[in-house]
Amino acid sequence: MKYISTRGASPEISFRRAVVSGLAPDGGLYMPAAWPAAPDRQAKNFAGMAFGDVAAEVISLFAGDEISQSELRERAARAYAPFEAPETAPLRALDDDLHVLELFHGPTLAFKDVAMRMLAELYDWALADAPRGKTILGATSGDTGGAAIHAFAHSPRAEVFILHPKGRISDVQRRIMTTTDADNVFNIAVDGSFDDCQRIVKTLFADRDLAASVDLGGVNSINWVRLAVQTVYYFTATASLGKPASFIVPTGNFGDVFAGYAAMRMGLAVNKLGVAVNTNDIMRRVLTTGVYAPANTVATTSPSMDIQVASNFERLLFEASGRDSQALANLMAEFAAAGRFTTPEPWLRNMQQMFVAEAADEAAVRQKIAETLREKDYLIDPHTAVGLVVYDRLKAQGLIKGPAVCLSTAHPAKFPDAVRDAAGRRPDLPERFADLHERAESMVDAPADADAIKRFVLERSRFCVKTG
């Protein structure tokens, strides 16, 4: 299996290389050169299988013969051993047509654990014979950072520098990141938004001087293999239901919902993919009007979705264009110059065949949290509430019909104040986090400036090779 850049000006790479890569050198995102096929009979066999075994089968389709399925099973077993739910990603029925896919049973209480822990195992495999370790650089809107830090803590082959927007994530999200005691982990609180953090990471991945000093690796959803792992729970959820469904996905950077699209391209029967956004509704706007025009980011109670520049949308544009890398590169150049673009009409029609989108404002989110507790005796976090509000609206519009699965991306205890204010009940953290607020934090403050972050990385990296 080979991987290509969406912008077409970078050489193909192997699966091993894709594991440890972020952006392609031409600024594009890596994609499979061709979609692997998961035969229908294979997908049906996933019912009743352990999540790790399904993960091994699905990932092997992306890896080809570069890693054996037996090694993938061993690594998946280690990756998912700490999850508190035996199923790893269990389905919970809310009514006859609606299920919630609980993705928050991992070590950091968010869906990012599902992919990140397997990615850490694959990093260990990919770097086994490397001359030096990888310097992982990432931005987080709240959950990616904690999952990456937990998965890679104490790794002899990787160090982790994570940027988060200072004061714009919940205290629990921050503390899960900043209280990890590992000398290969660095937390950077950036004076800006998540979009600022993401911009800095993209700038540094394109910095040739930095690349000559440290070997940068990506674990944000710009990393293709992370998305490949996320396809797994679309397969397991469908197998558990025993029939095709629509998936409603709370969306920030567009990676989780694009993983659903990838599963569909592999052969999984999916009815519709519902893109659920909060007040920062750029993905609703572009999927309904075609106009991609970032606005100012608004802080909400669902901070992981407080994003105006969704990096993974480039992957969908690439697909919708018929994989026309030159046309996509031109559109991205237009966006870089003008700060906006209008999606070509044929591309938009292609996207609208599979994707529907809606937004949930803060009042609706609060109401949904309270209503779900009152009517279903089920406590949800604000991101899941966004998804359930959007499900109601898409169903009322006739855009979603029949069985539906809403992805529940975080444990409500990661957002205790927002949940308490909405539902009148403060969710308890799992016992292993009982002393979280007493643990010492470790982080540094930094301006929203790529040069300042670059200096910090060069000063602290244990894998840095001095140049010049």
Among the residues of 231-361, which ranges form H helices?
232-241, 255-266, 282-289, 313-320, 325-338, 345-352
Query: Which residues neighbour 451 within 8 Å (Cβ) at sequence distance 6 or greater?
Result: none
Distance (Å, whole) CA 291 – CA 310? 13
Within 10 A of 295 (CB to CB), how many other CB atoms are there?
11
Distance (Å, whole) CA 365 – CA 344? 33
* Residue 222 phi, psi dihedral angles, 5° rounding: -70, -20
Distance (Å, whole) CA 305 – CA 308? 9
Helix (H, G, I), strand (E, B) or coil at 332: helix
Encoded tokens for 457: 């990385």
Question: For residue 313, which of 4, 6, 37, 1 has the smallest C-alpha distance?
Answer: 6
Question: Is 112 assigned a catalytic role?
Answer: yes
Query: Which residues neighbour 392 within 8 Å (Cβ) at sequence distance 6 or greater?
Result: none
Provide the pairing of β-strand 270-277 with 245-250. parallel
Encoded tokens for 337: 């110059």
Is the backbone of residue 222 left (phi > 0), alpha (psi -120 to 50) or beta?
alpha
Q: Which of 2, 44, 112, 401 is catalytic?
A: 112
Distance (Å, whole) CA 205 – CA 157? 19
Active centre residues (catalytic): 112
